[in-house]
Structures are given as structure tokens and as C-alpha cells.
Amino acid sequence: MTEGETKIFYGWYMVAICFVVNFIVFGISVNTFTVYVKPIVTDMGWSRAKFSFGMTLAALAMGFVAPLIGRLIDRTGARITMAVGAFIIGMCTIILSKAQSLEQFYLLYMISGAGQAATTLIPISLVISNWFELKRGRALGIVMTGTGLGAMVMVPVTSWIVVNYGWRTSYLIMGGIILSMAPFCLIFIRTSPSEMGLKPDGGTVVAHTDTHRLEGFTVKEAFTSISFWLIAAMMFILGLVGMGIGLHTMPYLTDIGHTEIMAGIIISIISLMTVFGKIGMGFLADHLGIRKVIILTCALIIVGILILMHAKVLFIAVIFALIYGLAIGAPLLINPALTADCFGLAFFGSIFGILSLFNIIGAGIGASLTGAIFDSTKSYMPAFWIFIIMIAIAGFCGVMGRRAAVTHATEEQG
């Protein structure tokens, strides 16, 4: 039986493989940071803003190398790049268990951030976009549920380890788990279906010499379009708000009276809901279009933030988790899907790498901005109101960016 005659298209195996990478690498290295804030701040005597700046530096490092990683993947493929990135993140996490100074934390998080660019969202988005066209939205949605399910499992596990054995032991264990992803990526990742004599969506077997020519904008063409800058603005804001709230969710919930265990459960509910949100939004993107998904996502995020501001009662906190979780993971599929939709796949890695720079810089600013606002006002409320306004602007930019791309394509055809 040839590869083209198998009942299950190999692209769905790639979905499962990339899901595992997101579950382990992103689920641990990004989503569990909130667990470490209070224990490390208390132990080391730093402010929340100072410690949160470590995540800012990680995001900036990730953003700085993202365009380079995107270009590298366009030229050499994703397999080796992802394996090296996983090795870097795992080793940095292990070494964090021995860190003694704020400067050491900063350096290790910066190096780990560069590894993130090589391992998770950028290469995985490229791989899945290459393997799927008609079913790209749902494929991306399934893959990106790995980040939410990873958080749902790893946040309470990490919390339990920190409470019972300390944050240093937690870093050591989690670093070892991430390290195992290096050989996993090396063995299983395939950048495009042409490597296996296939076409996207599994329609027809082609000769191995057929590289399935890709079409789309060059980097220069994308960079000079209004769509690029509108999408960049949207991704910047979504990154800022997502990290600004996500990093401080546990500290905020414990500040308003919830126990650490209950706060961890609420975060797990958010993570669980991102699973349904990503799959659902991916399905809607394929059937209704990405524009409507952007509008729905931003509306739900705004409602979620408004509920969070009144979440002292456990029931309200759970309602927040259900609504906010449904929406907050969607940008992980919106960003690459919108990029592929507007600019094509010919130089997707390079273009999405540059756009990811804006998203990551936004995340870095959000991590520190929220902490700085809290330190100066002793409240998270001013930050929440700012984020509500910004999300409304992000939705507008995303919709207009898609409209500008459609207008450009119509003019080109004319």
C-alpha cells in the first residue's frame, strides 16, 4: 500500500506530532511561568515587576530571532530547527534550578526565549499550513489546543511540585521533560507533504521531484502592504493583552481572596476552554471566514476581562474562566491562518516570523506593563481597563487588514 492509499492522511499524524510539541514545550516553558511568580519573588526578595521582566526579556529575545528563524525554516525546513530549539529550552530550564541572581534569571530566560522561536508557534504554524489548505483552520485549531491542554495539566502539576518540593526542583523536572522533545522533533517532524510525495490535504500522490510550487507575496511585497501593518498591530495588541493578563492571573486571583490551589484550578479551566475555543474557532474559520472569527474572539476577550474585574466570588471567577478561556487561545490559530490567507505560503516562514516579532514584543511589554501598573497603583484594575480598549482596536485592525488584502487581490486579478 502506498502512502497515498492509506486511509489516514499523513498530515493528521503531523497534527498529532506538533500537538505533542506544543503540549510539552509551550505548555511548560510559557504557561507555567505564572506559578513561579509569588514563590520566587518571596524567596528571592524581588518585586513582581522585576521578576516579570524576565518573561519580557524572553519575549524580546524570541521576537528578535523570529524573523531569522522564519527565514531559516523557509530555507532548511523545520525538523532540525525545532530539535535544536527544544534542546536549548530544556537546558535553560534545568539551569534555572540553580540560578542565584536576577541577572542569571534574565540571561537564561532570554536564551530560552530564542529557543521558543525555533520550536513552537513559528515552525509549527508553517508545518501545518504546508500540510493543509482546505482544512487549515481546523488543523491549526487542533494543534494549538496543545498549548491549552499543556497548561491545564502542567500548571497544577507545577504548582504541586512547587508547594511540596520547591520551585528549584520544579525547574529541574520540567527542564528534563522539555529536553526529551529534541530527539522527538528530529525523528518525526516533516516540514511539507512534498517530502513524502504528497500534496496538501492528502488528495493525490505526486512524484517526489514535485515540490508543489507555492504562491504568495514576497517579503518585500508584504512589508509594503497596508494589510501587513494592520495585522502587525493586531498581533502586537493580542500578544500584549494575552501575556499581560495570563502572567498575572494567579497573583490577581490570590490577591482578591482565592487560594493558590483554587487559582490553579481556575487557570486549568481557562486552559481547558482554550481547547474547545481553538477547535471551534478553527471550524468557524474554515466555514465562516477568518474575519468573523476575529470579531467573535475580541468580543469574548472583552467580556471575559469585564467579568474578571468582579471575580472575588468563586462562581464569577469560574464564569470568567469559561468565557475568557474560550477566546484567549484563538489568536494562536488566527495569526498564522490570517497570515497565510492574506500573503500565501511562498514566503510564509519569513513573513510570519516578522509578524511574530510584533506579537512577541507585545507579549514582552504586557508582562512588565501589568506588573509595573500593579506596583505603582497596588491594583490590576487600571491595566484591565486599558486592555479592554486595546482589544477593541485589535479587532478593528484584524478585520481591516483582511479587507485590505481582499481588495489588493481583486485589483491584481483585474
Ordered by start, the domain boundaries in the chain are 3-413
Pick the CATH number of 3-413 from 1.20.1440.230, 3.40.190.10, 3.40.50.300, 1.20.1250.20: 1.20.1250.20
pLDDT of residue 212: 39
**Residue 213 confidence class, pLDDT cut points 50, 70, 90:** very low
> What's the mean pLDDT when you consider all of the chain?
87
User: Partners of 135 in the beta sheet?
Assistant: none
Name residues whose C-beta falls within 8 Å of residue 170's C-beta, 6 or more positions apart in sequence.
Answer: 35, 36, 97, 158, 161, 162
Name residues whose C-beta falls within 8 Å of residue 295's C-beta, 6 or more positions apart in sequence.
Answer: 395, 399
Arithmetic mean of pLDDT, 20-45: 90
For the ranges 3-7, 303-307, 326-330, 337-341, the lowest mean pLDDT is seen at 3-7
Residue 413 has pLDDT above 70, yes or no: no
Cβ atoms 151, 264 nearer than 8 A? no
Grid coordinates standing for 239? 500578544
Cβ atoms 94, 179 nearer than 8 A? yes
**Residue 13 confidence class, pLDDT cut points 50, 70, 90:** very high
Residue 392 has pLDDT above 90, yes or no: yes
Arithmetic mean of pLDDT, 385-413: 85
List, for residues 142-174, the tens digit of each pLDDT value.
998 888 788 878 988 998 999 999 999 999 999
Grid coordinates standing for 101? 541572581
Residue 404 has pLDDT above 90, yes or no: no
Arithmetic mean of pLDDT, 100-111: 95
Name residues whose C-beta falls within 8 Å of residue 216's C-beta, 6 or more positions apart in sequence.
Answer: 343, 344, 345, 346, 347, 348
Cβ atoms 3, 197 nearer than 8 A? yes
- CA–CA dist 52, 366 (Å, integer): 10
Name the nearest CA neighbour of 96 among 145, 150, 162, 148.
Answer: 162
Grid coordinates standing for 172? 529541574
Name the nearest CA neighbour of 277 among 336, 325, 337, 317.
Answer: 325
pLDDT of residue 408: 67
Residue 87 has pLDDT above 80, yes or no: yes
Arithmetic mean of pLDDT, 31-43: 88
**Residue 211 confidence class, pLDDT cut points 50, 70, 90:** very low
